[in-house]
Structure 1
Amino acid sequence: MRSRRVCLLIATFIAIGQFGCQALSCTTTGSATPTICGEGVTECFAKSDASGTVTRGCVTDATCPSANCLTCSTDNCNAYLVCKQCDGTQPQCATSQTAMVTSLQLCSTSAQQCLNQLADNGTLTRGCGECAAGVGNCSPCNTDNCNVGIYPADRRLCYQCDGANCQTLDNATVLMPCGIYQAEAQKCYMIGSSATAMQRGCQNDAAAGNKCAGATPDASCVFCDTENGCNNRPYESVLGSCIKCSDNSTCADSQAADKAVACPASVYTETEVSCYTKTGDDGTVSRGCTNELTEACNTTTNCESCSGTGCNIQAAGFGCLICRSDNYAPCRSAEVGVELCPVASQTGEDAKKCFNGEWNGVVVRGCLADATPLMKFQCTSADDSRCETCNIKGCNIKTYNGAATLQHMGLGLFGLIFVVSKYL
C-alpha cells in the first residue's frame, strides 16, 4: 500500500512538471504549422537578410547572433510582419531607395502593417502600425520589409555630394531623394569654386555649410527644378560655338553659321553659349564668344550679344532709326527698327552717331554721317533745338507729339532736300 502511494506521488510530480514546463511554439519558415521548440528554448526569432528576405524559427545559440535578428518570447509571436524602422532624425530614412534602412521592427499584432508615414514637416517615419482613417500621407503594405523605397513617389531626387566626389556623378551613390519632402517648388542646388570644390544637394536640406539654403542664398548658387538630378553640371564645360573674326573686310558681313568655332569652357553658372558682335572705334567689326571679352558687352561699348550656337551671324555695324514721319507716321513715336548705317559712314568725325529732329512738322531720324553739312550743323549746334544727336546704336528714339510750329523755314526746307533723297 505504501509503495502504491509513492508511485502516485511520483506520477503527480511528473504531471505537474510537464504542465509547468510546456515547450514554446514558434512560427518556422517552411512549415505550415507552428513548431514546438526544443527543451530550454525560450524565444522565437525573425531574421532578415541583406535582400530583405525573412526567416523564422526557434532561437538557438547559433541562429540569432546579429542585429538584423529580432526575438520575442510568447507562442508564435514571430508570425507577425517584420518592417523597416526609422524616423526623421535619421537622414537615410527618406533618402534610401532600397533596403538600406537597417533598423527592423517586429510588429506586435496581426492588425499591424508596415507603414511609410509622412509628417507635416516633410520628414518620413517607417515602422509597424495602422494608418488612421482618412489620412492621405500614410502608406501601408502587408509583406515583410515592404516599406522601403522612395515615399512619396514624387519626392525630388538631387545629386548630393561635396568635394572631389562631386566631379564624377554616380547615380547609384550620389543621386538621392531629398530628406525633407516638398509637394511643390522643391529645388536642387549646386555651388562651387573649382572642379574639386563643388557642393550639390537639395535646397532645403540641412547639410553642413549649405550656402544655398534659406531666403538669402549665396549669389554663386544655381537652382533647378526641371527634373530629377538636374544639378549635374560640371564646374566648367564648353556650351557651344560662335563666329570668330576681327579686323578684316568680311567680318562686318553676314556670316555662315557652320563656320562657328568652339568657345572656351564656361563655369556652371552659365547655361547657354553667348556670342557677341562688336564695332570698334575705328569702325572695324569683331565677333567671338562673350566669355572671351575683357569688358562688358552692351550698347555703351557698341557691342551686341546673343544666346545660342552660331547666333552672331547677322551683318554688323553701327545703326540708327532711319525714317521720316510724313511717309511713315509711327516715326514720330520712334516705332521703327534699327537699320545699319552704310559701311562708308562707320569712320570719321560723325561716325557712330544718330540724329533725330523735327523740321516744319516732319520728324526725321537717321545716321549723322549721312546727313548734309547743313543738317549736321543744325543737329550739332548748341543754339539749335530742333535736332539732337547721340552715339549709341539705335539711340535716336526721342518721341514727338503733335505737329510742330513752322520754324527756320529757309534752313528747314534746305535741309529737307537731303531728307527727301535719303529717307523717301
Structure 2
Amino acid sequence: MVGGLLIMGLAMVDSLECYACDSAEDSQCATRPGQQLEVEECSQANDECVTSISAGLTRRGCLARLYPNGYCAAPCDRCNTSLCNRHVYPTDRLRCYQCSGSDCIDVTGRPQYLLPCPIYKEADRCYTNVVHMSNTLRGCVGTNLPDTCPHVCLKCNYNGCNVEKTVTETRCLQCSHNRLAPNPDCLRNQAESDDDAQAKCSLDNATVTHCVNKVMYGHREKCFSYRNTQTEVVQRGCSTAMGFYPTGELSECHGELCNANCQDIVCAACNSTADPGCRAGRNLPTEKCAAGTTACYSCEQDSTYDHCPIFADTFLRRGCADGNFTPAALGDSCQLCRDADSCNRYSVRSCYRCNAQDEDTDCAAMDLPSAMTTSNCSSATELCVSTVVSRLDGIYTVRGCAGQVPECSANDPYCVRCNGSLCNDAPTLWRQTQLDLVTARDILPDNWWSLLQYWWSRKLR
C-alpha cells in the first residue's frame, strides 16, 4: 500500500503542466501569455508543451492533445518543463500600440498599449488611423486594419513605431488693432534698437496673447496676419478661427508663434529748416521705413543751447526710428510713437519752463516770452502749467510741462493748466498780487500796508 502511494506521488510530481489556449478565442493567448491563461496537465508520459502558429493564430498546450500524431508543423516551439510555453512566440513577433478613442491620441507614457500583434504575419506592420480630432485607432495591419485606412493612415514596420501624436497644438499670436481700439503691441514691438533693429523687431507673447491651433496629423494648420491699410485694421490669430478677408493683405505661416513679424511702418519725414510746415504737422511728406523699423520719431532741439544759433528757433525733425536713427547729443528731445502710420505727424508739445527761485525775474510776468526757456514734454498731449509756490525762503512762480512741476497738483488753487504748446505764458496770480501791492504801498498808511502785506503772504502760504 505504501509502495502504491509512493508511485502515485512520483507520478504527480513528474506530470507536465502546460499553458493551454487558442488566440481565436482569446487574443491574450498570443499577446499576454502567462497572464490569466488556463493550465492543463498532460496525461501522457514524456509529453511536451508546445506553442504553434497556424494561419496566424496561436495555440498553446500539451503536444499529445493538440497533435496526437506527435508532429507540430513549423512555426512551432516545443519544450519539456512545466509551463515552459509561456513566452511570446515567435520572439520576433511585431509589437505595436493597440488602442482606440481619445486615450489613443497620445500614447507616450502608456506602455500598457504596446503589445504583440494578435495575428502573426511575418511581414506585419503597425498602423495609426486618425479618424477625427477626438478619436485615433492604432494596431497591427495583419490583425485589424480598418476599411477607412488609408484615409489618414500611417504604417510602419518596427516595434512601437506607431507612437506619433495624432493631434498636436501650435500657438499663434492673437490680437487686433483698429482706429477705435488701437493696440500698438499688435503692430510692432517696443524693443530698443541698439545694434540691430531688424533682429529685435518681432512680437512675442509677453505683451500679446496667443491662440491655439489643434492640428490633426497629416494636416497643417497655420497662423495668419492680416492688414488693411485703408481701414487701418490689423489682426493676428489662428487659421482655425480665421475670418473672411476679401480685401487687404493676408499672410499665413506654419510654426510656433510664426506670425510675430512686425508690420511695416510709414512715418512723416521732414525738418523745420527745409519745410516750415513741419512744425504744424499738416500735410507732411511721408516715407516707408526700412523693414524691422519699430517706431517714428519727432525730435526738437532745445533752444537753451545758444552756442548753436541755427537752432535758435527750436529745430524740429521727423522721420523713421530705424537702425540709422540716433538722437543728437546736443539737447535733442525726442518722442517715439508706433501706434499707427504717420503717428509722428502731431505737433511736438513744448512749454515755457522757468523758476523764479532761480532768479528768473520774468517767470511771473512773462513780459518777454521769446527770451524764455522752453522744454519738450514727455508726450504730445501733456498739459503746460504754471503755479505760485510758497516756501520758507519766499514766494515764487514755476512753469513747465505738467510732469516737470510736481507742485502743480490737483489741490493747488494757484495751478493754471492749458492744452497746447507754449500756452503757459499768462502772468501768474502772484505777479498780479505784486502789482496790487505796489499800488497799495503808494496809497495806504504804513500800518495798513504792513497788515496787507502780512495777509497776502499768509494767503499764498
Report TM bin, short chain: 0.3 to 0.5
TM-score by length of 1: 0.42
Which one has the largest radius of gyration?
Answer: 2
